[in-house]
Structure 1
Amino acid sequence: MGYRIAVVGATGNVGREMLSILEEREFPVDEIVALASRRSQGTEVSFGDRVLKCQTLETFDFSKTDICLMSAGGAVSKEWSPKIAAQGAIVIDNSSVWRMDPDVPLVVPEVNADAVAGYTKKGIIANPNCSTAQLVVALKPLHDAAKIKRVVVSTYQSVSGAGKDAMDELWNQTKGIYVNQAPEGDENRKFPKQIAFNVIPHIDVFMEDGYTKEEWKLVAETKKILDPKIKLTATAVRVPVFVGHSEAVNIEFEKPLSADEARDILREAPGILVVDKREPGGYVTPVECVGDFATFVSRIREDPTVDSGLAMWIVSDNLRKGAALNAVQIAECLANRGMLKKAA
């Protein structure tokens, strides 16, 4: 017998991935329910060979649910996650609402799995931002080896991180350029500038200091998950890629760490695949990471501009490790630690 799982936001990109990954990783599910808004009631989604019809979040009884995987946006999570937790389910939330709450653990299982024990304060565990998740997976083993002082990261984030409408916008703009036709509904676009054949150095809202909120998330979440003493600065860029986030990362350490040593450490680290051949094609790109569980690290090299520095390239499927996979891994942590008391 397994656990009783609810997936809120099951019709979205991440919700569908959650259902897929639960089945792929053979998570012990006894009962699974797909939930969405009233307008999506009855919409069919897949869970392995089964077809689930979405029920409405507003009318569902969570009292017999063990885990709720929440991916329905910040406003929904802010209202519903505490209500669901109050009924006895552990909420694993993919929005940004709870990440910096001191009573809510922010967890990447390869980095700080033991933090899941903190769910008891509010019944909620937060999933980090997609760009943060892959970054800290790669930083953790290097931090353990040589202690990181400072990180400079530039992200190249796919449009799927902004949802299905953003993916449609890239598709429509690209088609329009080829046939010399302006896309319809351009006034309602997701991005402030053309995304097809372009890059946009702007994700989320601008803050008073000139950084965007996406860049702030990378800083704040890395400190909470990994080490508050790490200094980090970020530039987050949206690129015309459908799925897969990439990051160019420069790291300064307290202790010397060679590229060869870092490569060996990363090869042994959980959740990482090193593909680093110094030849054309000897690295991983977003297209190749789609559908994979791993965080890929390439282009590992020493940075001669600081005393103890490395540069590297990190790529991951943002819908998987950056969202759905990480949430399922958190559920696995709870199960493995015997924290799901209502297991049959």
Structure 2
Amino acid sequence: MDNNVTLPSKLYDIDNMDVDTMLDLYKDMLLGRNFEDMCAQMYYRGKMFGFVHLYNGQEAVSTGIIKALKACDYVCSTYRDHVHALSKGVPPRLVMAELFGKETGCSHGRGGSMHIFSSPHNFLGGFAFIGEGIPVATGAAFQSVYRSQVLNSPDPMSVTACFFGDGTSNNGQFFECLNMAVLWKLPIIFIIENNQWAIGMAHNRSTSSPEIHKKAISFGLPGIEVDGMDVLAIRKVACEAIHRARSGNGPTLIEALTYRFRGHSLADPDELRSSQEKAAWVARDPIKLFKNYLLNNSIVNEQSIQEININIKDQIDDAIQFALSSPEPEVKDLKRYLFAEDL
């Protein structure tokens, strides 16, 4: 298979995208950024505990991929999972309550920051160990094929989007699951969020082949590199990959070149990266770039932007108040949710 396969981009004319879709993309990125900023405040105030890994700077990847999916599609995340959950439609108040460890959280306070999960939204969870989610996502894609080909389900084929970082691409699960996905033509998209750093290890020091998308050649699936700070560029390749998967033509590997603006976690002093490197990437903030695109092309005006900002802040304030006022899990329920309950 040609690794540089041309897909039917005319089906996804970004230049003719309607205004409402454009605004939805902007709102989703802004929601993710504001949510994470508030998480940092709450963490340092002692409202959150454990490890908290924020997504600042990578919002275009989550929005560009997940907002192109349907409700029936699946998303499998990493320990940097809050914004992926928001993009998939998990309400901010349920995510925030989960981070506070409250019973009203989307995982009833049992998952915390690294294990956001929501069955109603087909959000398969965050995973604390790198590479852990790739086999889970592969299994989700397999069941989509099974439902269609064996159970003869009349529903459209569900697609699975599997997110992971550049460091994960050196792990065995990555190679094994790419191989299986191609063999079985699974409807899955593997998204590498290459934020240039695997915890404290620079990407170009951790792999013998820094261009991760080229690893797709070994398995015979398309490998695509995309600017991870450009939400429209990501949406375009996402739509093409989703169409390919849903049509039964198998998986796609997308490498999104992006950058996390904060340290690895909120406990990381972030002293390993140079200020010059960080400044160069911050200058390409995906939210500011897209806002300027909307304004410069007269898609929105400043008043509309301000109204969106106020609305997003109101959502975040509501999420905080909901989390603060929600009850703690009760001791008597300590072992609850370990097994499926009778309906």
Counting helix residues as a fraction of each chain, which structure ranks higher? 2
Please give the TM-score of this superposition, normalised by the length of structure 1. 0.33
Please give the TM-score of this superposition, normalised by the length of structure 2. 0.33
The structure whose RCO (Cα within 8 Å, separation 6+) is larger is: 2
Counting strand residues as a fraction of each chain, which structure ranks higher? 1
